[in-house]
Structure 1
C-alpha cells in the first residue's frame, strides 16, 4: 500500500480550555486534492497551521511521507521546507517586485543560486499569467494578482504538499475566478493539495475528497459528489443549506 503524502492521526489542538481540533484524522495521497469545508470556527485554518507545524499540537500525529514530523525529536524546519502554505492575506514584501518575492525563499531558505531562483520565479509568474508584471511592486497589483504571486511564491520551493487556507476570502468577488483558475490548473497538473475553502462549486470540481469539519471534528468525508450532493449527516445538510442560501454552492 502506498504511503500517503500526508496523514493526520487523532490530532488535538487546544487554546487554553477550548478544544479547537478534537481527534481529527485524514490523509492526502500523492496528486490528490483534499478540501476542508465547514463554518467559520470549525477548525479548518487551525488544522492547516498544525499540518505546517506553525502551531504545536496537544495530541496526535502529523505524518509527512510516513514520518511523524510533529514529533519534537524531528527537524520541524526541514519538514516545513517540504511544504508551502498560502494564506488569505497575501503577505508580499512591499519593497520587492513580484519576481523578487517569488525568488526569495528558494534563494534564502533553500540555497538556490540567485540567477536560477530568478529564472524559476519568472517561469512561475508566467505560469500564473503574470509574466508582464514580474517587475511590478505589490502596490501596482490587484488583490487577485497579488494572490497569484503568493501562489507562485509557494510553488517556487517545489513543495511536496501545498496548503491553501481560504485563499479567495479576502478578494472582491470579480477577482475570485482568476485565482481559482490557477488552483484548478495546479490540481490538473498533479500538485498534491490540502485546502480550505468556502467555494463549494469549486470544491466539487477539483477535489478528490471533501472533509466536512464541525466543532473541531471531521464529521463527514468522501467524494465531492457524495458529501456535497448527498450528505449522510444532518449537520452537513444544514451547513450546505446555509451555503445554498448564501449563493456559494455554484
Structure 2
C-alpha cells in the first residue's frame, strides 16, 4: 500500500523556488532517506508533507487522500503523521509522561488510562521509564530526543517524519538516538527522514533520495545511490561528505 505520494511539489519563498517539482512515493513499511546539502529542500519537503507550509503547486496524498486540497482540515490530516524535528520541542512545564499522553488524549480522544499505559510501555522500551515523572530540563539532549520520538509514536501514526533529529545533539549522544530509530524501522514503521548521517541511511533506508536545488536529482537503493551514484552532482556531494568523515 502506498502511504505517501508527492506529485510536482513546488514551494517558493520570496520568489525563490525551494522545491521545484518534487515527486516522491513512500510505500507501507518503507524507510526513505532524504539526503543533500543544507538548503537543498529536505526540511521544507517534510514541512510541506506535514502541511506546516502552504504548497505553491503540486499535490500531497496520504493513504490515498489528497491532503493538499484546500478543503481538507490540516489538523485532521496530521493525525496520521508523527513528526520529530531537530529541536526536541517538548513542553517544558509538563512531565515526560504528560508530554507523551497529551496528543493521544486531547487530539485523538484516547482514554487517559489507555494512553498512560501505552506511554509507559513506550518509555520502558526506550529505557526512560524511570524518567516518566521528570521534566525535560532534567534530561540530556539524547534523552529528550528519545522522548520526542516516543511522543510521535504514541498514537501509532501511519507515517513518521524525522527532520535531522541528531543535528542538535552532542556527538556522543547521536548513537543512542540512531539506535532507537533503527529499532523503530526494524519494527516495520513507515518513515520519511532527512538526515546527514550517510552511514545510518545506508544501514536503515530502503530508498535514498538525493536532493539538490529543490529537485530529486537521484533516487534508488542505498547501495546504488551511496555506493555507485549515476549523477555527477550526487558523486560530488558524496565526495564532500566522505572528506568530512560522515560516510
Compute the TM-score of the two structures, normalised by the length of structure 1.
0.97
**Which residue number corresponds to residue 32 of structure 1?**
30
* 4+ residue runs over 6 A deviation: none
Give the superposition deviation at 1:144: 0.2
Write out per-residue CA displacement over residues 56-75 of structure 1, whole angstroms, 9 at most, x where no aligned residue: 10000000111110011222
Write out per-residue CA displacement over residues 42-97 of structure 1, whole angstroms, 9 at most, x where no aligned residue: 00000000000110100000001111100112222211111011000001111111
**Which residue number corresponds to residue 64 of structure 1?**
62
CA RMSD, 1 decimal: 0.7
For residues 174 and 53 of structure 2, the distance between their equivalents in structure 1, rounded to whole angstroms, comes to 28
Please state whether the residue corresponding to 1:78 is helix, strand or coil: helix
2:189 pairs with 1:226 = no
Write out per-residue CA displacement over residues 138-162 of structure 1, whole angstroms, 9 at most, x where no aligned residue: 1110000000000000001210100
For residues 64 and 214 of structure 2, the distance between their equivalents in structure 1, rounded to whole angstroms, comes to 24
Unmatched runs of 5 consecutive residues or more in structure 2: none
Give the superposition deviation at 1:5: 0.2
**Which residue number corresponds to residue 166 of structure 1?**
164
4, 8, 23: which is aligned to 1:10? Answer: 8
**Which residue number corresponds to residue 181 of structure 2?**
183
For residues 191 and 43 of structure 2, the distance between their equivalents in structure 1, rounded to whole angstroms, comes to 14
94, 100, 103: which is aligned to 2:101? Answer: 103
154, 157, 163: which is aligned to 1:156? Answer: 154
Q: How many corresponding residue pairs? A: 247
